[in-house]
């Protein structure tokens, strides 16, 4: 059966309840969708019943699963039948076409590397992140994709160029942004900035007409949303992503502090609440379901650990779309064309 999406029913803070609820919603919306649910069969059947879903559904039972607090490496070793591992094996055996998981991010990335195959010609996979920006244009939808944010530490120019192709296909085909703008995160706008690796990556990307590469972007462009795709090595992507999360937490804490301490702040915040709600609706993470892990023979969408049913529903729909649009095929093709074009540059002599 084609278009089969594997679902890690046990991953995430609200698993399996919100996971199953979201999948059932996706199944009701998408007649072409098939799923295989991996996890505790009793728990899954119970949730399916709660959601009044009585059609036949494929379930692969396992009693092991990795928690959000588990150490990725040891958990994968200690739990050979963890739901994420079982799910990825199904993918690699061709029994499913893509995967959605809201589980432990580190374990998911590591399990992908262990159980899937890298796309031929690619040297590094990438974990992407979708983050809200200040732009609320219909095109960008107020979100941007950054990659890599954690699958690598440092990257070569070739690897960064590969990331641009992967990000571009995902954002255009799945998030529906026409010719998404791509920026190379750097310490200045000039082409030669950032040292030899980044200036070489800039050269590679500048010559790719298939890509809408606008050049180097700086730290300030990230929250402003001046591009839909930010290309960077995993070390920098990780620092940037956690910094944005940290700023978010600081703002929230200041709000709480204000709410407790000052009557004028309290009144002010109450008045602001309505507006904040509107902004929040525009930047609702669950709209996008999750961020892709790109570079393997099958696409994996990693939803946030706090994903609710809506996020899982949208992640499942995005996974279906990725299969229907053959994202992996497109990426494979563009990576190989790029590598062939630069065959002489890449000779290891």
Stretch that binds its own copies, among 38-46, 109-117, 184-192, 322-330 (CB under 8 A): 184-192
Q: How far apart are CA 197 and CA 157, in angstroms?
A: 5
By C-beta, is 111 or 184 nearer to its own copies?
184
Which H helix or E strand runs over 91? Answer: helix 83-92
**String marking each residue 145-164 x if it binds its own copies according to CB under 8 A:** -----x--xx----------
By C-beta, is 73 or 114 nearer to its own copies?
73
Stretch that binds its own copies, among 6-14, 73-81, 181-189, 334-342 (CB under 8 A): 181-189
**48-70 burial code (b ≥16 CB/10 A, e <16):** beebebeeebebbebebbbebeb
Looking only at the bridges linking them, the beta strands covering 299-302 and 291-294 are antiparallel
Residues 260-299 binding its own copies (CB under 8 A) are: 262, 264-265, 267-272, 274-275, 279
Q: How many amino acids of this chain bind its own copies (CB under 8 A)? A: 46
Q: How far apart are CA 25 and CA 23, in angstroms?
A: 5
Bridge partners for 273 per DSSP: none
**Prior bond of 258 cis (ω within 30°):** no
- Nearest distance, CB of residue 57 and its own copies, angstroms: 38
Tokens 């992503």 belong to residue: 241
C-alpha dihedral over 262, 265, 267, 269, to 10 degrees? Answer: -140
- Nearest distance, CB of residue 264 and its own copies, angstroms: 5
Stretch that binds its own copies, among 3-11, 51-59, 253-261, 283-291 (CB under 8 A): 253-261
Q: How far apart are CA 310 and CA 160, in angstroms?
A: 32
**String marking each residue 207-246 x if it binds its own copies according to CB under 8 A:** -----------xxxxxxx---------xxx-xxxxxxxxx
- Nearest distance, CB of residue 326 and its own copies, angstroms: 32
User: What does the binding site for its own copies look like in residue numbers (CB under 8 A)?
Assistant: 134, 150, 153-154, 185, 187-188, 194-195, 218-224, 234-236, 238-247, 249-250, 253-254, 258, 262, 264-265, 267-272, 274-275, 279
């Amino acid at each position: 059966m084609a278009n089969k999406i594997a679902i890690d029913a046990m991953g995430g803070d609200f698993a399996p309840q919100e996971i199953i609820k979201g999948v059932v919603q996706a199944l009701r919306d998408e007649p072409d969708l098939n799923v295989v649910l991996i996890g505790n069969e009793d728990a899954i059947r119970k949730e399916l019943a709660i959601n009044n879903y009585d059609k036949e559904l494929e379930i692969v039972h396992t009693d092991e699963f990795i928690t959000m607090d588990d150490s990725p490496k040891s958990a994968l070793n200690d739990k050979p039948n963890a739901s994420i591992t079982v799910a990825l094996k199904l993918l690699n055996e061709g029994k499913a076409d893509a995967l959605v998981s809201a589980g432990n991010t580190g374990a998911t990335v590591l399990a992908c590397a262990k159980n899937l195959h890298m796309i031929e010609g690619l040297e590094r996979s990438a974990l992407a992140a979708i983050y809200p920006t200040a732009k609320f244009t219909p095109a960008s939808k107020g979100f941007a994709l950054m990659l890599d944010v954690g699958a690598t530490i440092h990257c070569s120019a070739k690897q960064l160029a590969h990331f641009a192709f992967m990000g571009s296909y995902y954002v255009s085909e799945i998030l529906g942004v026409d010719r998404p703008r791509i920026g190379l995160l750097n310490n200045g706008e000039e082409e030669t900035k950032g040292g030899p690796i980044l200036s070489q990556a800039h050269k590679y990307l500048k010559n790719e007409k298939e890509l809408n590469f606008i050049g180097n972007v700086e730290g300030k462009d990230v929250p402003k949303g001046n591009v839909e795709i930010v290309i960077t090595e995993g070390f920098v992507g990780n620092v940037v992503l956690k910094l944005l999360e940290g700023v978010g937490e600081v703002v929230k804490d200041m709000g709480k502090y204000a709410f407790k301490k000052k009557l004028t702040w309290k009144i002010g915040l109450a008045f602001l609440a309505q507006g904040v709600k509107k902004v929040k609706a525009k930047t609702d993470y669950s709209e996008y379901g999750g961020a892709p892990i790109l570079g393997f023979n099958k696409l994996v969408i990693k939803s946030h650990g706090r994903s609710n049913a809506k996020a899982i529903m949208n992640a499942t729909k995005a996974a279906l779309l990725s299969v229907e649009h053959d994202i992996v095929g497109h990426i494979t093709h563009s990576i190989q064309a790029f590598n062939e074009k630069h065959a002489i540059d890449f000779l290891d002599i």
